[in-house]
Amino acid sequence: MFWIEFAVVLIAIFVGARLGGIGLGVMGGIGLSILTFGFNLQPTSPPIDVMLMIVSVITAAAAMQAAGGLDYLVKLAESVLRKNPNRITYYGPIVSYLFTLVAGTGHVCYSILPVISEVARETGVRPERPLSIAVIASQQAITASPISAATVALLGMLTPYDFQLIDILMISIPATFFGVLLGAFAANKMGKDLKDDPEYQKRLKEGKLKSNSERVDKEVPTSAKISVALFILGAFAIVMFGSFESLRPVWNVGGEMIKMGMPATIEMVMMAIAALILIFSKVKVEDVAKGNVFSAGMQAVIAIFGIAWMGDTFFAANMDYLGGGIKEMVTNMPWLFALALFVLSILLYSQAATIRALMPLGIALGIPAPALIAMFPSVNGYFFIPNYPTVVAAINFDQTGTTRIGKYLLNHSFMIPGMVATIGAVSMGFLLVSILF
């Protein structure tokens, strides 16, 4: 019966991934319905707190986007990149990483990519090199951002085990940043120099190359700067509340001292920040829901709702079966669980959904929380099959043709920097865990 139920879960994930968007969530709902009504599995509680944390963060990020905050961040990024054109293969991914780290969303990457491509071409650097690792950097930063959906999902699961936000960040930030630098070093060795690339020379002769972006130095409205300042203030407040428990309120409930948890803290802080952005940046409320940040965030919530609820129900019902040889195997060789996270992220195209779908199994199997934090960057596997939007965008922005999908599909521009960055980040994570815990 286990294998039939497992097949239902896999089919739901596969079909949902093919549908894309909210398809992953609704297919999780179908899978859960089959497990419940067809196999009599008792459904677990839906991941309400995780969903509400993501909703609050996405609402604040969408308000910042509506106020022009993301455009302001991109303008700052362009200024940095154009001042350091010869180091574009390193500065490009670093800027991409830092902006995603602060914003909690990889959507800033879309606006930075054409700038990276143009600066690289103007400098004579093969655009494939900075573009490929910049995309990977935006993915790695998701697992280092204190306000990303993936981080708040992991935090929600580890909080009952006395692990705070600072415990995650002190591992994930240096580990992923190291992985990005390692990936940039690998990317810098890829392919022929631009002047020697036959595809570039061909397009140059045919006159197909045009400017990737129009440089219009528009005055940045004060409202955009205010929105960015407020959003960063919110992120800083969350880090402080997560790092110092004494800052959070405590109540006496039936003689027991109860401290406010981080899920409620994140929800309150980010909803308040969204309100402050609406008020002080004078954002039209209807514009908040029109941006791609809000749309993508709500799709992530629905995906987590369905797929995580289905996964939790399946694992809870089959823990006796899973807790035997598998427990001993992943305890002795934790990298196997990291590999499972990587593979599932390829299917789900979401770090947060991967965390919610599989991390509960790791916790139930008794894998130590520090080891799970070290494995956190392994959920960045959706570069593996080159059809994720940021990957496709990078290919389209590179008019020289150096960033491309290979003849055999998997030999694409993002494979080497992606694998190097991910393996490097997880390896550094385990090293830091062995030192700090």
Q: What is the pLDDT of residue 212?
A: 47
Please return the burial class of 331, using the count of CB atoms within 10 Å of its CB with bins 0-12, 13-18 and 19+: middle
Question: Alpha-carbon torsion 291, 292, 298, 301, what sign?
Answer: negative
Q: What is the pLDDT of residue 372?
A: 94
Number of domains into which the chain is organized: 1
Q: What is the pLDDT of residue 210?
A: 62
Q: What is the pLDDT of residue 354?
A: 86
- pLDDT per position as a tens digit, 241-270: 877 778 889 998 888 888 888 788 888 999
- pLDDT per position as a tens digit, 346-396: 877 778 888 888 888 888 888 889 999 999 999 999 888 776 777 877 888
> Average pLDDT over the chain, rounded to whole?
85
Question: Is the confidence at residue 229, as pLDDT, over 80?
Answer: yes
Residue 90's pLDDT band (cuts 50, 70, 90): very high
**Region class of 375: left (phi > 0), else alpha (psi between -120 and 50), else beta:** alpha
Which residues on adjacent β-strands are paired with residue 251? 258
pTM (predicted TM-score): 0.77
Nearest to 59 by CA among 281, 274, 229: 274
- Are residues 355 and 379 in contact, defined by beta-carbon separation less than 8 angstroms? yes
Percent of the chain exceeding pLDDT 90 equals 33
Instruction: Give the range of the structural domain holding residue 43, as residue numbers without chain letter.
Output: 1-436
φ, ψ of residue 311 in degrees (nearest 5): -65, -45
Q: How far apart are CA 137 and CA 157, in angstroms?
A: 25
Question: Is the confidence at residue 211, as pLDDT, over 60?
Answer: no
- pLDDT per position as a tens digit, 308-351: 788 888 878 887 776 655 666 676 777 888 998 998 888 777 78
For the chain, counts of helices (H) and of strands (E) = 21, 2
Give how far Cα 333 sits from Cα of 261, 330, 345, 367, Å.
32, 5, 20, 10
- Are residues 143 and 379 in contact, defined by beta-carbon separation less than 8 angstroms? yes
Q: How many residues does the chain have?
A: 437
Q: Which of 44-53, 66-75, 154-163, 274-283 has the highest mean pLDDT?
A: 274-283
Q: What is the pLDDT of residue 128?
A: 92
Higher pLDDT, 150 or 357: 150
Read off the pLDDT of each residue in 72-99 and give the average, rounded to a whole number. 86
**Token pair listed for 210:** 């045009």
- Are residues 293 and 58 in contact, defined by beta-carbon separation less than 8 angstroms? yes
Question: Is the confidence at residue 155, as pLDDT, over 60?
Answer: yes
- pLDDT per position as a tens digit, 40-49: 999 988 878 7
